[in-house]
């Protein structure tokens, strides 16, 4: 399992593309990859499944093909309500 925490933070677009290509190649080789990112477009573009966490708990889960920024935000808001 490869865990990538904000793998493209602070890098230029060309380097981001290279990282996305490496992630896709590793995934196609059967590697398990966990990407932690605050960039929703990035998550929607490179993941198969999205989990939303709040206060250390999973508050939402969806296949990336069914996900949208709106659905992710709804899960975040619901999770914030549970954590309070």
| Model confidence pLDDT, tens digit, residues 4-37 | 999 999 999 999 999 999 999 999 999 999 999 9
Percent of the chain that is helix, strand, coil (3-state, to 5)? 50, 25, 25
Query: What CA–CA distance (Å, rounded) separates 50 from 47?
Result: 7
What residues are paired with 58 via a beta bridge?
53
- For residues 65-79, average pLDDT: 90
% residues pLDDT > 70 (the chain): 94
Domain boundaries, the chain: 1-46, 48-84
For 61, the 3-state DSSP assignment is: strand
- List of residues 6+ apart from 20 with CB closer than 8 A: 8, 45, 46
Residue 49: pLDDT over 90:
yes
Pair 61, 84: CB distance under 8 Å: no
pLDDT value at position 83? Answer: 46
Number of Cβ atoms within 10 Å of the Cβ of 51: 14
- pLDDT, greater one: 3 or 57: 3
């Amino acid at each position: 399992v490869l865990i990538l925490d904000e793998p493209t933070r602070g890098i230029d677009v060309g380097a981001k593309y290279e990282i996305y290509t490496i992630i896709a190649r590793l995934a196609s080789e059967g590697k398990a990859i966990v990407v932690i990112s605050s960039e929703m477009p990035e998550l929607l573009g490179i993941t198969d499944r999205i989990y939303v966490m709040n206060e250390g708990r999973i508050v939402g889960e969806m296949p990336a093909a069914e996900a949208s920024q709106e659905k992710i935000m709804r899960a975040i808001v619901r999770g914030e309500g549970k954590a309070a």
